Amino acid sequence: MSKPVLGFNPASAIGYIGQTVFVELVWEGDPEPIWRLKHIVGVVLPVQGVNEVGYFLTLPVIGSADFPDEIYFDSIHTIRAIRDRHIPIRVLGRLPLPQLTQGQATQGERRHA
């Protein structure tokens, strides 16, 4: 998996505050990206010598959390603001799904994950 290439400047990062986003996260050494649907409630911008990598403060769309999570800018491969409630369904429909079974079942045989 390639290293994330998105760069956020203060104006673009701050523009996501209050948005619901669909985000693809990738970490070095981890071959599989993960997708999350999050509300962005804040942003911490990088400050040289203090915080080298900025991050978003996020809350889950489904469920609840007592405190926001961090999504660091350098782990974001793709980010899309959700303005249409059907977008996540269309995007998820195009993602490759992992195989749930090992091998193919022959006639009369069932295999369960």
Please give the average per-residue pLDDT across 56-68, as a whole number.
Answer: 92
Residues in the chain, how many? 113
Is 50 exceeded by the pLDDT of residue 100? no
Alpha carbons 101 and 99: distance in angstroms, whole number? 6
Contact 29, 94 (CB under 8 A): no
Number of H helices, E strands in the chain: 2, 5
Average pLDDT over all residues of the chain: 78
The tens digit of pLDDT for each residue in 78-87 reads: 898 887 655 5
68 or 31: which carries more pLDDT confidence? 68
Instruction: Output the CA–CA distances (angstroms, integers) from residue 105 to 68, 96, 100, in the order listed.
Output: 44, 21, 12
Q: What is the pLDDT of residue 28?
A: 87
Is 60 exceeded by the pLDDT of residue 2? no
Q: What is the pLDDT of residue 62?
A: 85
Q: What is the pLDDT of residue 29?
A: 87
pTM score above 0.85: no
- Biggest alpha carbon–alpha carbon distance for the chain: 65
The tens digit of pLDDT for each residue in 5-43 reads: 566 777 888 999 999 999 999 988 887 899 999 999 999
